[in-house]
């Protein structure tokens, strides 16, 4: 059986996709993983707000309000980081706090998506 070039291409592509699937992003497992994930989302939100302001998709006043909302989340995450480093998860309270902050951040991100 002779393999044609397109068949080889499809076979190679399928192999690459199956190999790369193993390297996908894993959901955060520990409280510290969740904290770091949330911090990365804060950075992404800041960048999105800045990009939208630069494109004039939002006004400077709207951008300032979004920045304030994200800043409150960032401050909450900073306090969660301190508690996590000094007291551990504190009976799951730090995890709950992070989840609440992440929900606030998702609300901001969803609003920004409509812009």
Taking only the tens place, the pLDDT of each residue in 72-110 is 999 999 999 999 999 998 888 999 999 999 999 999 999
Confidence (pTM)? 0.74
Q: Report the distance separating Cα 40 and Cα 98, nearest Å.
A: 13
In three-state form (DSSP H/G/I as H, E/B as E, the rest C), the secondary structure along the chain is CCCCHHHHHHHHHHHHHHHHHCCCCCCCCCHHHHHHHHHHHHHHHHHHHHHHHHCCCCCHHHHHHHHHHHHHHHHHHHHHHHHHHHHCCCCCHHHHHHHHHHHHHHHHHHHHHCC
- Mean pLDDT (the chain, rounded): 85
Interval 67-81: pLDDT, tens: 999 999 999 999 999
Q: How confident is the model at residue 7 (pLDDT cuts 50, 70, 90)?
A: low
Report the C-alpha gap between 29 and 25 in whole angstroms: 12
- Supply the pLDDT for residue 5: 61
- How far is the CA of 20 from the CAs of 24, 37, 74, in angstroms? 7, 22, 33
């Amino acid at each position: 059986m002779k393999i044609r070039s397109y068949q080889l291409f499809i076979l190679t592509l399928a192999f690459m996709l199956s190999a790369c699937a193993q390297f996908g992003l894993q959901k955060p497992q520990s409280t510290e993983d969740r904290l770091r994930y949330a911090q990365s989302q804060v950075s992404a939100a800041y960048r999105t707000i800045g990009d939208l302001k630069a494109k004039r998709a939002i006004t400077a006043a709207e951008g300032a309000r979004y920045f304030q909302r994200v800043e409150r989340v960032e401050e909450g995450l900073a306090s969660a980081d301190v508690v996590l480093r000094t007291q551990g998860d504190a009976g799951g309270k730090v995890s709950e706090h992070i989840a609440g902050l992440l929900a606030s951040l998702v609300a901001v991100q969803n609003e920004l998506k409509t812009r």
